[in-house]
Amino acid sequence: MTSLPVPSAPVPTRGWLRLIPALLQGAVIGLVELVPGVSGGTMALVLGIYERLIRSANHAVHGVASLVRRRSVGSALQHLKQVEWVLVLPLVSGMVVALFTLAGPLRHFVDTQPVLARALFFGMVLASLLVPASMVRQATSAKPGRHVRNVAVVLAVASLTFLFLGIPALQVDEPRWWILVISGAAAVGALVLPGLSGSFVLLTVGMYEPTLEAVSSRDLAYIALFGAGAFLGLVTVVRLLAYLLREHEVPTLLIATGLILGSVRALWPWQDDTALLAPEPGAWAGPLTAAVAGVSVVILMWLLGRRAHKPA
C-alpha cells in the first residue's frame, strides 16, 4: 500500500515560530546593553546562545576577510554558510527594535529610580553566575585540587575587575580621533566578553556622554570613527574568543565567571561617584524586592534554556 504524503502546510508556520525565540532573545540583550554595568555577553550566556553567536560571528568575519583580502568568493561562501542566519538575523532585529523602543522608558526608570534599577540589575547579574559556573562544572573533573584552583582564578579575576570598576569616571570634552577608535574597539570588546558592559566601559573612561551626544546629534564623523573602532574590536575579539572557547574552554569560562562576579560592584544599589554606601535604615525593602525579582527572572530564563537545550 502506498503511504499518503505528509502534509506540508504546517512547515512554514513552524519555521516562522522558530524565529520568535531569537527575536525575544535579541530584545532582551538589546535591553540590558542599554544599562551601564549589565553585559549583553552575560545575557547571551544566560540564554544559552553565547557560543553559537561567537561561532557565527567568527565565520562571518572570516567570510568578509576572504572577500576583502583574498578575493576568494568560494572561501567566503563556505564561511557564510556556517553562520546560523536563522538565529543571527532575528536576534539582531530584536536588538534594534529594543534599542529604539525601550531605550526611552528604561532610561526614565534608571534616572527616576536609580536605587531600584541598580538593585534589579544587581540581582540579574549576580544570578547569571549560574551559567558559566555550571558550564565549568560540566567540563572539569571532580578532583578537589582542581576546584580549588578554579575558585582561585575566579576570585583573582573578580578582584581585578572590582578594583577596575572602582576607578573614578573621567570626562572627555573633545576626544581625538584615535580615542574614538580605541573607545569603539573597547566598547564592542566588552559587549562580546561576558561580565563587562560596553556602555559601562565608556562611562568609566569618560566617553559615555560624548557618544550619546554624537548619536543624538547625528555627528557622522564621530560615529564613523567610533564605528571603525567597533569593527576593529569585533574582528579581533570575536576571533580570539572563538579560538579560546574551542581550545581553552574552561579557563575562558573561569575568567568570564570572575568578570561577572567583579562587575556587580557597578550595580550596588547605594553608591555615589566615588564610593559604595550602606543602605539607609528602613530603605532596603524595595531594593531587596527588586534584587530578588532580578534573580528570579534570570534563574527562570536559565532553567528554560536548560530545558530547551536538553538532549531528547
Q: Of 81, 93, 79, whose CA–CA distance to 27 is shortest?
A: 93
Residue range 27-76, pLDDT digits in tens: 888 877 777 666 777 778 777 788 788 888 888 888 877 777 666 777 77
Amino acid at 20: I
Degrees (nearest 5) of the Cα angle 137, 49, 126? 55
When pLDDT is averaged across residues 212-240 and rounded to a whole number, the result is 80
Burial group, residue 106, by CB count within 10 angstroms (0-12, 13-18, 19+): middle
In this prediction, residue 297 carries a pLDDT of 81
In this prediction, residue 213 carries a pLDDT of 74
How far is C-alpha 274 from the geometric centre of its chain's CA atoms? 26
Alpha helices in 83-129 (DSSP H): 85-112, 114-127
CB proximity list for 151: less than 8 A, separation 6 or greater: none
